[in-house]
Amino acid sequence: MTGAVVERESDLAREHLIAEALRAQWRMIERVSLTSSAAGSGFEAIVHLNRPLMRAAAEQQGLDYAAMSVPDRNPRLRAAISGCVERVNARLSPGESIRGLRIVG
Total tally of structural domains belonging to the chain: 1
Q: Which domain holds residue 99?
A: 30-104
> Is residue 66 very low, low, confident or very high in pLDDT (cuts 50, 70, 90)?
confident
Tell me, yes or no, whether 55 lies in a domain. yes
For 46-74, where are the alpha helices, taking DSSP H only? Answer: 51-61, 65-68
**Is residue 56 predicted with pLDDT exceeding 60?**
yes
CB contact at 8 A, 24 and 16: no
**Is residue 29 predicted with pLDDT exceeding 90?**
yes
Tell me, yes or no, whether 24 lies in a domain. no
Tell me, yes or no, whether 79 lies in a domain. yes
Tell me, yes or no, whether 4 lies in a domain. no
Tell me, yes or no, whether 15 lies in a domain. no
| Report field, pTM of the whole predicted structure over 0.95 | no
Tell me, yes or no, whether 1 lies in a domain. no
